Structure 1
Amino acid sequence: MADGNLNYKAATSIHEFTVKNVKDEDIKLEAYKGHVCIIVNVASHCGLAANNYKQLNELYEQYGESKGLRILAFPCNQFAGQEPGNSEEIVCFAKDHKVKFDLFAKIDVNGDNANPLWKFLKHKQGGTLGSFIKWNFTKFIVNKDGVPVERHGPNTDPIDLVKSLEKYW
C-alpha cells in the first residue's frame, strides 16, 4: 500500500507513503512516526530560498535533537522554473547552504503528475484560494501521528512556525 500508487484520498497519515530521497532511494515515511515534521517545497533559484534555508536550518538545529523535529524538503521546478537543476546540482546548493535536514527527489506538487504525498497534503490542508500550491516554500506542519495539521504560505518565515510547532510537541 505504501507506494506511488497509493490512493491519497484513502490515506490517513504521511506514514503510508514512500518517496524518493535526493539520492533516488526509497524512503518509507513511517520512519518519521513520533516526529513533528515540516514538509516544504523548495527551489534553489527562488528569491525566498536564502532566508528559508537559513531559518529551516536554525529550526532543525534548535529542535531536531531536543524535540524531534524533522524537516522534509522537496525540490520543485513548477514555479517560474526556479529549480532547474538535477539532483547533483540541488545537493551542491544544499551543501552551500549547510542544509542538515532531509532532502528528497525533485517532484511536481501540482497537476496530474503531482507526487501522491503532496496530493494528500493538499487534500488534508487545502489553501484559502484552492488547494493547489501557489509558490515555492509552502510549509505543512505534520503532527507525530503523521496527520497534516497546518498549512503556511511562502511568505511565512520558518522561524514564525515555532508557536505552531509547540502545540504538537
Structure 2
Amino acid sequence: MASSAEPSTVYDFEAVDIDGNNVSMDKYKGRVLIVVNLVEMHNRLADRGLAIAAFPCNQFGSQEPWPEAEIKAYIARWNVAFDMYSKINVNGSATHPLFVFLKNRLSGTFGDFIKWNFTKFLVDSKGVPVKRFSPTTAPKDMEADVVKLLDEIGK
C-alpha cells in the first residue's frame, strides 16, 4: 500500500507492472477503471477516460504459467494498449492488498473468494469500487455501467 492509513480507494495501493516497476494506483485518479483484461472495450472508450489495469494470475487451472517477459511478448502481438501488471495472487494468504480491498468492498457469489480468472471490478473516477462482474460477464454486458460512470466524469 502507498500509506499506512486504512485504505478508502484503489488509489491507496501500489502494484508492480509487467516491467517490474512499482506503480501507484493513483495514476488512475479521475478515470473510470476496470481491473481485468478487456482489449476491445478499452480501444473504444479510452479517449472518454476508461483505463484498464490487467493482473495476470496463475491460480485458476494454471492458465498463466509464463514469466512476465513471455506474457509481455504475448500481449504485444495483440496490440494491448492498457496497463499490465506482474502476476499476483487474488486468493489465499498471499493475496495482493489491492485485491483484498476490492473483494472486501464487493463480495461475489462465494463471498470474498474469486472463483475464476476474469472476475472484473469496476472502479469509479474517484477510486471507489462500484461493481463486481463474474468471469462469464461479457464486456458488452458491462458497457452500460462503464458508460454511465464515464458520463459522470466532469459533471
TM-score by length of 2: 0.92
The correspondence for 2:119, drawn from 121, 128, 138, is 138
What is the total number of aligned residue pairs between the two structures? 150
Distance 1:133 1:71 in 2: 19
* CA deviation profile, 1:17-76 (whole Å, cap 9, x unmatched): 111000010111111000000002xxxxxxxxxxxx6xx2221111101x1100000000
Structure 1 segments, 4+ long, off by >3 Å, are none
Shift of 1:129: 2.1
Letter matched to residue 90 of structure 1: I
In the other structure, the counterpart of 1:167 is 148
Unmatched segments (≥5 aa) in structure 2: 151-155
Secondary structure of the residue aligned to 2:149 is coil
User: Which of 119, 139, 148 is matched with 1:158 structurally?
Assistant: 139
Say what the alpha-carbon RMSD is for the aligned residues: 1.4
Q: 1:128: how far off?
A: 2.0
* Map of 2:33 onto structure 1: 37
The alignment-based identity, stated in percent, is 41
The one-letter amino acid paired with 1:31 is: K
Alpha-carbon displacement from aligned partner over 1:113-151 (angstroms, at most 9, x marks no partner) = 000000000000011221111101000000001011000
The 5 A counterparts of 1:1-169 are: 2=2, 10-40=6-36, 56-65=38-47, 67-169=48-150
**Per-residue deviation, 1:159:** 2.4
Secondary structure at 1:75 match in 2: coil
CA distance in 1, matches of 2:123, 2:110: 21
